[in-house]
């Protein structure tokens, strides 16, 4: 055996340390990189935050020639460009927003670029094909590759031009990357981009650092404020409408005194872009937004994503919550839901064309299942995506604090018959009065005190009525009309006949402490003077360079510095996330702060 020739993966690992300052690969990264280095075309399906960009950026620094990266959004490309350059990788973008395209083309022709980012529109231009013929190519990397598929909602016709372009360079391997798991889209990508079936690598979809929690929405401002208190970094709150975005942003700002900004399609474009840019650069801002916000935002240090209402589907929920914790640090995803969310969604079903109704209903039922489960949230999510997760994850609300489950079939029958016997036109408040035997004026007036269901619920059971009504609405057995009356729907008849049972999650007597389970150990030591001093330095450097702070160093890197207190440049180089280029650029400044701190304590 020739000891001088290192296997490619060892060399890649060495590079990983040198250039990125990371200790080792994560998940499927080594499998993808090994294929890329061997020149084999690959489709990598990896969830958000799994580290897709590294799988082409790293080989690009090792392979002869330039890696051409196709990406659908200019903002995404520029984000990547900044990060790559900060690590000393020779990278450039060729987009309509760039003024330096001549320099870029010269650099490419001279073989001086590791990475060339382009928008898909360029792929079909003959001039671009000519340009690519003028220097050696290492790889085609196609980011957000699901855009090639008409199946999803991100279809970009220009992606269809990539195949003819790449076919003109048959010896250049292709790497398609996406976070979209569904099989249909995947098959499309194989076919449309010419990647063999055997080139598929699928990472697990779990995001272990995200803690999921789903709660009933009662005092939304206080609930969000508590979350902000627990997770002091940047966060996103999704609200369903523009009006709610505006109102919630104001209320949260007033309640917490924190920097909070709104984002929705109705804002003046400059204001909107300004709010997004401020958020990307901030270390503690909260943005309240409609779901228009998020696509193309690569901020790694988002500490929480809150939903102020139920999302559209489990897929949408997973994508939206996936924006939290891309840096791998602890993050939280909290959904705050109300029965009215489901009422609205189920009313809308009537407006959907008949042929699509069953699938839309299934989508809602799946969401209701997630909301109503007493089991592990992560398990429900991962099973939805076709995985076989363990029964318990230890990092969701139900795993950390197991709720009680009660068979409420009999009580459900009482509630449903009360709705039925009062003519299916009264809201929950009225039904509750009838069932608990409250001789309210309206109850007596309507003669509802003479019904057989009057006063048949008492004691402990009465406490379960409200969560039961919510659960029945979530599953569609009770449907709120526009006038607020509750009608029977879904499987109500089967429940009344005793053919279906109803289990509900029993709410804790009062909200229990949420500061439990893991997460504390790795969280930022906010308030630790050294950590704060390092953060301040990072802010200054970021400002001077016109970069978001996380491009300089991630929080995890600052945390490790604060804990290890490396007092020399070479010791600092051992900290994860400190590559050669960053050590050179920022090393002295950070060592100085650490030394000054050691001297003063």
Q: Which partner in ligand ADP, Zn ion, none is near 376 (CB below 5 to 8 A by kind)?
A: Zn ion
Residues 6+ apart with CB under 8 A from 522: 329, 330, 556, 559
Decide: is 579 part of the binding site for ligand ADP (CB under 6 A): no
Q: Which of 13, 35, 52, 146 binds ligand ADP (CB under 6 A)?
A: 52
Our CB check for ligand ADP shows the closer of 272 and 554 to be: 554
Q: Which partner in ligand ADP, Zn ion, none is near 393 (CB below 5 to 8 A by kind)?
A: Zn ion
The CA-based diameter of the chain, rounded to the nearest angstrom, is 96
Half-sphere exposure (Cβ direction) of 588: Cα atoms closer than 13 Å: 2
462 token code pair: 């009465």
Our CB check for ligand ADP shows the closer of 152 and 455 to be: 152
By the 8 A CB rule, do 311 and 335 touch?
A: yes
Q: Which partner in ligand ADP, Zn ion, none is near 25 (CB below 5 to 8 A by kind)?
A: ligand ADP
Q: Which of 41, 53, 192, 524 binds ligand ADP (CB under 6 A)?
A: 53
Query: Which parts of 385-535 are beta strand (E)?
Result: 404-407, 478-480, 486-488, 503-506
Q: Which of residues 319-348 bind ligand ADP (CB under 6 A)?
A: 326-327
| Site for Zn ion, rule CB under 5 A | 376, 378, 393, 396, 399
Q: Which of 26, 82, 163, 247 binds ligand ADP (CB under 6 A)?
A: 26
Shortest separation between residue 395's beta carbon and Zn ion, angstroms = 6
Our CB check for Zn ion shows the closer of 46 and 399 to be: 399
Q: Which residues pair with 13 in a beta bridge?
A: none
Q: Which partner in ligand ADP, Zn ion, none is near 378 (CB below 5 to 8 A by kind)?
A: Zn ion
Nearest to 68 by CA among 138, 121, 124, 134: 138
**Segment near ligand ADP (CB under 6 A); pick from 44-52, 108-116, 272-280, 378-386:** 44-52
In order of 18, 56, 177, 526, the CA distances from 200 in angstroms are 29, 16, 10, 42
Our CB check for Zn ion shows the closer of 341 and 397 to be: 397
Shortest separation between residue 500's beta carbon and ligand ADP, angstroms = 42
46 token code pair: 């990896």
SS3 516: coil
284 token code pair: 């503690």
* Cα–Cα dist 580/344, whole Å: 55
In order of 53, 286, 539, 551, the CA distances from 281 in angstroms are 20, 12, 9, 10
Shortest separation between residue 156's beta carbon and ligand ADP, angstroms = 18
Decide: is 538 part of the binding site for ligand ADP (CB under 6 A): no
By the 8 A CB rule, do 339 and 474 touch?
A: yes
Q: What is the size of the binding site for ligand ADP (CB under 6 A)?
A: 16
Our CB check for ligand ADP shows the closer of 71 and 398 to be: 71
**Segment near ligand ADP (CB under 6 A); pick from 45-53, 431-439, 453-461, 475-483:** 45-53
481 token code pair: 């009309």
Give DSSP secondary structure letters for 207-268.
-TTEEEEEEE-SSHHHHHHHHHHHS-S-EEEE-SSHHHHHHHHHHHHHHH-S-EEEE-TTS-
Shortest separation between residue 55's beta carbon and ligand ADP, angstroms = 8
Our CB check for Zn ion shows the closer of 391 and 499 to be: 391
Shortest separation between residue 46's beta carbon and ligand ADP, angstroms = 5
Return the residue nearest ligand ADP (CB atom). Answer: 51
Q: Which partner in ligand ADP, Zn ion, none is near 321 (CB below 5 to 8 A by kind)?
A: none
Our CB check for ligand ADP shows the closer of 415 and 534 to be: 534
SS3 93: strand
Q: Which partner in ligand ADP, Zn ion, none is near 53 (CB below 5 to 8 A by kind)?
A: ligand ADP
Q: How many helices, marked H, and strands, marked E, lie in the chain?
A: 27, 17
Q: Which residues pair with 405 in a beta bridge?
A: 505
405 token code pair: 């489950």
Q: Which partner in ligand ADP, Zn ion, none is near 591 (CB below 5 to 8 A by kind)?
A: none
Decide: is 50 part of the binding site for ligand ADP (CB under 6 A): yes
SS3 202: strand
Q: Which of 46, 147, 457, 502 binds ligand ADP (CB under 6 A)?
A: 46
**Segment near ligand ADP (CB under 6 A); pick from 18-26, 199-207, 399-407, 506-514:** 18-26
* Cα–Cα dist 321/378, whole Å: 12
Shortest separation between residue 84's beta carbon and ligand ADP, angstroms = 11
DSSP 19: I
Decide: is 163 part of the binding site for ligand ADP (CB under 6 A): no
Q: Which of 13, 49, 408, 514 binds ligand ADP (CB under 6 A)?
A: 49
Q: Which partner in ligand ADP, Zn ion, none is near 433 (CB below 5 to 8 A by kind)?
A: none
Backbone angles phi, psi at 477, to 5 degrees: -75, -25
**Segment near ligand ADP (CB under 6 A); pick from 46-54, 107-115, 224-232, 313-321:** 46-54
Q: Which partner in ligand ADP, Zn ion, none is near 293 (CB below 5 to 8 A by kind)?
A: none
263 token code pair: 């984002």
SS3 514: coil
DSSP 497: T
- The CB density around residue 180, as the number of other CB atoms within 10 Å, is 20
Decide: is 54 part of the binding site for ligand ADP (CB under 6 A): yes
Per CB under 6 A, residues contacting ligand ADP are 22, 25-26, 29, 46, 48-54, 298, 300, 326-327
């Amino acid at each position: 055996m020739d000891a001088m020739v290192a296997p490619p993966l060892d060399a890649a690992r060495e590079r990983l340390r040198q250039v990125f300052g990371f200790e080792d690969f994560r998940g499927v990264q080594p499998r993808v990189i090994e294929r890329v280095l061997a020149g084999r075309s690959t489709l990598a399906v990896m969830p958000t935050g799994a580290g897709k960009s590294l799988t082409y950026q790293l080989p690009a620094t090792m392979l002869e020639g330039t890696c051409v990266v196709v990406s659908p959004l200019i903002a995404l490309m520029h984000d990547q460009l900044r990060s790559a350059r900060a690590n000393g990788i020779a990278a450039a973008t060729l987009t309509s927003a760039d003024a330096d395209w001549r320099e870029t083309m010269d650099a490419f022709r001279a073989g001086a670029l590791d990475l060339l980012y382009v928008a898909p529109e360029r792929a079909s231009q003959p001039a671009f094909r000519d340009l690519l013929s003028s220097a050696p190519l290492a790889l085609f990397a196609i980011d957000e590759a699901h855009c090639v598929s008409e199946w999803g909602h991100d279809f970009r016709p220009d992606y269809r031009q990539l195949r003819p372009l790449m076919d003109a360079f048959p010896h250049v391997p292709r790497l398609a990357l996406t976070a979209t798991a569904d099989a249909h889209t995947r098959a499309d990508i194989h076919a449309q981009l010419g990647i063999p079936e055997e080139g598929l690598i699928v990472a697990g979809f779990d995001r272990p650092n995200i803690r999921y929690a789903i709660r009933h929405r009662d005092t939304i401002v206080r609930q969000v404020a508590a979350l902000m208190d627990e997770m002091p970094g940047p966060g996103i709150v999704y609200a369903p409408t523009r009006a709610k975005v505006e109102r919630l942003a104001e209320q949260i700002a007033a309640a917490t005194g924190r920097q909070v900004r709104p984002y929705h399609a109705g804002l003046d474009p400059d204001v909107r872009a300004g709010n997004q840019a401020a958020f990307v650069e901030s270390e503690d801002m909260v943005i309240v937004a409609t779901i228009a916000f998020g696509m193309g935002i690569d901020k790694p240090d988002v500490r929480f994503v809150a939903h102020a209402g139920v999302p559209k589907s489990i897929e949408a929920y997973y994508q939206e919550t996936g924006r939290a914790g891309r840096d791998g640090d602890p993050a939280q995803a909290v959904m705050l839901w109300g029965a009215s969310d489901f009422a609205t969604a189920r009313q809308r079903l009537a407006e959907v064309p008949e042929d699509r109704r069953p699938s839309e209903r299934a989508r809602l039922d799946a969401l209701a299942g997630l909301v109503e489960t007493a089991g592990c949230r992560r398990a429900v999510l991962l099973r939805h995506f076709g995985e076989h997760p363990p029964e318990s994850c230890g990092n969701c609300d139900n795993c950390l604090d197991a709720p009680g489950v009660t068979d409420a079939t009999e009580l459900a029958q009482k509630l449903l018959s009360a709705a039925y016997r009062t003519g299916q036109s009264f809201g929950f408040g009225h039904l509750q009065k009838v069932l608990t035997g409250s001789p309210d004026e309206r109850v007596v007036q309507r003669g509802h005190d003479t019904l057989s269901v009057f006063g048949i619920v008492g004691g402990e059971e009465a406490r379960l009525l409200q969560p039961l009504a919510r659960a029945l609405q979530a599953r569609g057995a009770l449907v709120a009309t526009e006038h607020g009356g509750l009608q029977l729907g879904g499987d109500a008849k089967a429940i009344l006949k005793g053919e279906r049972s109803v289990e509900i999650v029993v709410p804790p007597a009062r909200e229990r402490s949420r500061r439990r389970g893991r997460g504390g150990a790795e969280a930022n030591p906010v308030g630790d003077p050294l950590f704060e001093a390092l953060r301040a330095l990072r802010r200054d450097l970021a400002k001077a360079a016109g970069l978001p702070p996380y491009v300089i160093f991630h929080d995890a890197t600052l945390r490790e510095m604060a804990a290890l207190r490396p007092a020399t440049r070479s010791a600092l180089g051992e900290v994860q996330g400190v590559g050669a280029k960053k050590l050179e650029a920022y090393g002295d400044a950070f060592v100085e702060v650490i030394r000054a701190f050691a001297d003063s304590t």
